[in-house]
């Protein structure tokens, strides 16, 4: 910088200082100090308000504000709490009486082997589940024979084991690696397009598998892109486990409405992607309606933006590969789809393994490494753990391995043929009932149905009185049944009771005494979703 330029710049600065001093001299020094701080504070407040509106939506924010103001009126909060407690009491349906008889202290003298007799008595109080529950029990037949017996024996043989101790219980460590490898092979790990690096671990269930996939995706995208305010996008039909993961790991979750066919809307998903997006999600099939999302299109979307894409195959992992071999028109859903970075598969559903067994799989080790937790500064020594749990039941790992090895490909093909055919018969039967409609076109073993003329939740209450345990859904109001081997022999019984339920509700509309229809109906229409949230939390808190 030459001397002339320096002098000019100095002159301009002196003039500017003089101008500012002249115009600000009329203000108190304290005002000049506070004004900038107050401006920054107000700017931050405005930014926070806009952030809340952006996250929750304008309508939800207005409703929340109105409800907040109403609760400030004397007596309103007390009235709301009283009404909420009434709903919670009805939801409990007698569970409070069971709590009165529960043990709360150790017996002074142990029961010894007599405890088994006591357990038999308690077990007889369980609901009749054989063929009566949506999903729930996936193994066919009686629990005292066949595959049930084999699983029980396998679990008993390894009841004392823990795969945390890899140097001690090498058998269950091997079982786990083989369960993962066999599951991965069903989902394209042997195909060239998979990349040949598919890896994973066993978990306690679909929720843990999804939670771990989300955690790994978050940390992987932070490593790759430096994302520190992560967001993920899921369809409205995506499992609630993603909400749990979002709360656990401080991730902003966007739920995108599904399209007219109840599949993930790819265009709508694209509109939500931004620089903070770490992952998108698809299901094969989705839990509510048994419909497979457009996995290939979502994979291309994830690939084009360089983000993670998780596919929830918790229901479909042990059905779709075999259904495809049987000739069913199954769209692409696995690691052969470019862009898929992780998959969750439950072995304890259609894999017919004991409850508490699932797998989470990754396209490569680079992503999976972000699942692990390694601790180097603990006085207890060096520590590394692959999943959320440290100690894990080796009995369940052994049970899963035994299930897969005992059934083999032929066994799974036979089972898939039975449940797919049973699902087709049930769907056709539901469509023949004029007052009902099937939600979308189910791809697998779930049939969801609603009604435009009847309260479907009243129909559900009647079915409950007949001993059926179905799942109530919303958006649209409907109920579904997840077909398992338990249902194959009793499809006609189900359809008979369903027709009777429809005719009964049609002739005598109105809630059944003690039924849940009023609660489900009110919850669906309630605009303040925060209040619905409070009801659910209060109900759960009362159960334990």
Question: What confidence tens digit (pLDDT) does each residue in 352-376 have?
Answer: 999 999 999 999 999 999 999 999 9
**Residue 414 tokens, joined:** 């036979």
Question: Looking at residue 73, what is its pLDDT?
Answer: 73
**Residue 63 tokens, joined:** 């409703």
**Residue 124 tokens, joined:** 């007889």
Q: Say how far apart CA 132 and CA 483 lie, in whole Å.
A: 10
- Contacts of residue 33, Cβ cutoff 8 Å, sequence gap at least 6: none
Q: Say how far apart CA 357 and CA 203 lie, in whole Å.
A: 6
Question: Looking at residue 95, what is its pLDDT?
Answer: 53
Q: Say how far apart CA 203 and CA 183 lie, in whole Å.
A: 13
- 155-407 belongs to CATH 3.40.50.300: no
Query: Does position 437 have pLDDT exceeding 80, yes or no?
Result: yes
The CB-based long-range contact list for 251-254 (8 Å cut-off, 24+ gap) reads: 251/214, 251/218, 251/278, 252/55, 252/276
Backbone angles phi, psi at 394, to 5 degrees: -65, -25
pTM, full prediction = 0.85
Question: What confidence tens digit (pLDDT) does each residue in 53-94 have?
Answer: 666 667 666 766 776 676 677 776 776 677 667 666 766 665
**For 22-31, what is the mean pLDDT?**
72
Q: By three-state DSSP, how is residue 431 classified?
A: helix
Question: Looking at residue 316, what is its pLDDT?
Answer: 97
* DSSP single-letter state for residue 396: H
Residue 479's CB is within 10 A of a number of other CB atoms, namely: 24
Residue 447's CB is within 10 A of a number of other CB atoms, namely: 24
**Domain regions of the chain by residue span:** 155-407, 408-543
Class in CATH terms, 408-543:
alpha beta
Most confident stretch, 28-32, 118-122, 353-357: 353-357
Lowest mean pLDDT among 54-58, 150-154, 222-226, 282-286: 54-58
Q: Say how far apart CA 268 and CA 298 lie, in whole Å.
A: 11
109 preceded by cis ω (within 30°)? no
Q: Say how far apart CA 517 and CA 508 lie, in whole Å.
A: 14
- Contacts of residue 406, Cβ cutoff 8 Å, sequence gap at least 6: 147, 150
Question: Looking at residue 52, what is its pLDDT?
Answer: 67
**For 311-315, what is the mean pLDDT?**
97
């Amino acid at each position: 910088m030459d001397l002339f330029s320096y002098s000019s710049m100095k002159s301009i600065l002196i003039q500017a200082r003089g101008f500012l001093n002249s115009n600000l001299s009329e203000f108190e020094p304290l005002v000049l100090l506070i004004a900038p701080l107050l401006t920054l504070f107000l700017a931050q407040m405005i930014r926070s308000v806009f952030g809340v509106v952006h996250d929750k939506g304008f309508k939800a924010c207005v409703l929340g504000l109105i409800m907040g103001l109403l609760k400030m009126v004397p007596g309103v909060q007390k009235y709301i709490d009283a009404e909420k407690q009434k709903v919670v009491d009805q939801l409990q349906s007698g569970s409070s009486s069971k709590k009165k008889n529960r043990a709360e202290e150790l017996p002074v003298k142990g029961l010894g082997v007599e405890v088994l007799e006591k357990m038999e008595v308690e077990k007889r109080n369980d609901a009749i589940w054989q063929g009566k529950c949506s999903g729930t029990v996936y193994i066919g037949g009686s629990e005292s024979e066949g595959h049930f017996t084999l699983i029980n024996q396998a679990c008993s043989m390894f009841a004392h084991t823990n795969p945390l101790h890899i140097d001690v219980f090498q058998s269950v460590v091997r079982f786990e690696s083989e369960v993962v490898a066999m599951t991965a092979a069903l989902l394209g790990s042997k195909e060239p397009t998979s990349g040949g690096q598919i890896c994973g671990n066993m978990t306690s269930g679909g929720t843990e598998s999804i939670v771990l996939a989300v955690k790994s995706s978050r940390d992987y995208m932070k490593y790759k892109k430096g994302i520190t305010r992560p967001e993920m996008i899921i369809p409205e039909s995506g499992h609630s486990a993603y909400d749990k993961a979002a709360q656990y790991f401080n991730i902003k979750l966007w739920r995108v409405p599904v399209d007219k066919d109840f599949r993930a809307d790819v265009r709508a998903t694209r509109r939500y992607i931004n620089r903070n997006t770490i992952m998108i999600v698809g299901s094969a099939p989705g839990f509510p309606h048994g419909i497979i999302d457009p996995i290939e299109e979502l994979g291309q979307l994830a690939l084009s933006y360089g983000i993670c894409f998780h596919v929830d195959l918790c229901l479909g992992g042990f059905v779709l590969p075999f259904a495809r071999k049987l000739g069913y028109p199954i769209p692409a859903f696995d690691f052969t789809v470019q862009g898929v970075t992780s998959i969750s598969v439950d072995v304890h559903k259609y894999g017919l393994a004991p409850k508490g067994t699932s797998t989470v799989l990754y396209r490569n080790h680079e992503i999976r490494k972000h699942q692990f937790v390694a601790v180097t500064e603990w006085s207890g020594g060096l520590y590394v753990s692959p999943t959320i749990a440290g100690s894990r039941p080796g009995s369940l790992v052994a049970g899963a391995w035994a299930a897969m090895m005992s059934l083999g490909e032929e066994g799974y093909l036979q089972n898939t043929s039975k449940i797919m055919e049973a699902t087709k018969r049930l769907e056709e039967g539901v469509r023949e009932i004029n007052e009902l409609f099937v939600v979308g076109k189910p791809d697998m073993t779930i049939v969801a149905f609603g009604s435009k003329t009847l309260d479907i939740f009243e129909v559900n209450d009647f079915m409950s009185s007949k001993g059926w345990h179905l799942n109530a859904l919303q958006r649209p109001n409907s109920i579904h049944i997840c077909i398992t081997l338990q249902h194959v022999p009793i499809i006609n019984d189900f359809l008979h009771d369903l027709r009777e339920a429809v005719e009964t509700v049609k002739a005598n509309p109105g809630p059944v005494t003690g039924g849940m229809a009023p609660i489900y109906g009110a919850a669906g229409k309630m605009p303040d979703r925060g209040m619905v949230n409070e009801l659910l939390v209060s109900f759960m808190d009362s159960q334990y």
